[in-house]
Amino acid sequence: MMNPIIHARGLTRRFGDFTAVDHLDIDVLPGSIFAFLGANGSGKSTTIRMLIGILRPTEGTIEVDGIDVIRRPRLVRDHIGYMGQRVSLYRGLSLRENVEFYAGLYNLSGAELERRWGALRERFSLGETEDEKAEDLPVGIRQRAGLALSTLHQPRVLFLDEPTTGVDVHNRGLFWELIQDEAKAGVTVFVTTHFLEEVEYCDWVCFIDAGRLIANDEPEALRRRYSAGYRIDIELPPEACDPAKALIRAAGHPVERTSIGLQLRVPELGAGTLATFERIAASHAGTIRIEQAPMTDVFRQVLAESGRPT
């Protein structure tokens, strides 16, 4: 098994009497997209500030890319990129001038900067707006520019705090394709969001509430645990029901007759189950509809079971 690239143990932060983060254990595997979720005020931002080395924990240990963040907070900065909801671009400077400013912070210049920025500009579709002043950039483009700037120095880990808040649905889609590209290239992405449907893009989900971990698993595992899983309705001519039923039973699932055909519930949709559906659809001209619980419902259930009044 791979060693985690973010590894925190007993992470705790108190502000006076108030405990914002309460003994969190976090492990993030390299190259994964890790969704860090929680209600407003649950301690998400405080946790991120500790992980990136700008806030000292009251207790606990943090290692990011092999670096002890608490003892060497400055060193970790070369290994990580950070982007918040409000992208820090200097007003009055064009996007290009902002790039040069940030590149300077990472000692990136000349041909190396041209090569790096040239590639990002292309991939992030920023060429047309390079000469516009930061304050004139539409939100969607500004957030993409923020992501480009936070990856300029090719960090191994990206921390993105609500990167898609205020971004329209089209640009959110583009943004997530870029995040997935980064992950595919081996970058680890630690991301927060209130658009819970975005969890579908992530490999792992961690929910916190009142500074404590309340769920920590793969999205599918959470769906299995905190919802009724998948409900499948199969519309079939009556004579096709028995053979279809046999196929589904052979795949290991109980199934019931309904007025339109068959219905079953499965905790997860494995390759075998999907292949069975395809066989039924192909051979019996049936219509199959799969219903899954939306992530908002899963999230509500996680909170309800954690004992929080909702």
Work out whether 296 is an interface residue with another protein (CB under 8 A): yes
Q: How far is the CB of 299 from another protein (least distance, A)?
A: 6
Where in 35-64 is the site for another protein (CB under 8 A)? Answer: 38-42
Work out whether 220 is an interface residue with another protein (CB under 8 A): yes
3-class DSSP string for the chain: CCCCCEEEEEEEEEECCEEEEEEEEEEECCCCEEEEEECCCCCHHHHHHHHCCCCCCCEEEEEECCEECCCCCCHHHHCEEEECCCCCCCCCCEHHHHHHHHHHHCCCCHHHHHHHHHHHHHHCCCHHHCCCEHHHCCHHHHHHHHHHHHCCCCCCEEEEECCCCCCCHHHHHHHHHHHHHHHHCCCEEEEECCCHHHHHHCCEEEEEECCEEEEEECHHHHHHHHCCCEEEEEECCHHHHHHHHHHHHHCCCCCEECCCEEEEEECCCCHHHHHHHHHHHHHHCCEEEEEECCHHHHHHHHHHHCCCCC
Work out whether 173 is an interface residue with another protein (CB under 8 A): yes
Q: How far is the CB of 17 from another protein (least distance, A)?
A: 14
Closest CB to another protein among residues 259, 310? 310
Work out whether 219 is an interface residue with another protein (CB under 8 A): yes
Work out whether 127 is an interface residue with another protein (CB under 8 A): no
Judged by CB under 8 A, the number of residues near another protein is 50
Work out whether 301 is an interface residue with another protein (CB under 8 A): no
Q: How far is the CB of 288 from another protein (least distance, A)?
A: 5
Work out whether 303 is an interface residue with another protein (CB under 8 A): yes
Closest CB to another protein among residues 111, 271? 271
* CA angle 46–213–299, rounded 5-degree value: 100
Q: How far is the CB of 306 from another protein (least distance, A)?
A: 12
Work out whether 103 is an interface residue with another protein (CB under 8 A): no
Candidates 21-29, 113-121, 255-263, 299-307; binding stretch for another protein (CB under 8 A): 299-307
Work out whether 140 is an interface residue with another protein (CB under 8 A): yes
Residue in 16, 149, 131 with CA at minimum distance from that of residue 82: 149
Residues 30-44 as b or e (16 or more Cβ within 10 Å = b): bbbbbbbbbbeebbb
Closest CB to another protein among residues 25, 177? 177
* Tokens describing residue 81: 């990129």
Closest CB to another protein among residues 143, 151? 143
Candidates 74-82, 147-155, 249-257, 288-296; binding stretch for another protein (CB under 8 A): 288-296
Q: How far is the CB of 101 from another protein (least distance, A)?
A: 24
Candidates 56-64, 66-74, 125-133, 173-181; binding stretch for another protein (CB under 8 A): 173-181
Work out whether 73 is an interface residue with another protein (CB under 8 A): no
Work out whether 180 is an interface residue with another protein (CB under 8 A): yes
* Tokens describing residue 229: 């899983």
Residues that bind another protein (CB under 8 A): 38-42, 85, 138-141, 162, 165-171, 173, 177, 180, 194-197, 200-203, 219-220, 269, 271, 274-275, 277-278, 281-282, 285, 287-290, 294, 296, 299-300, 303, 310
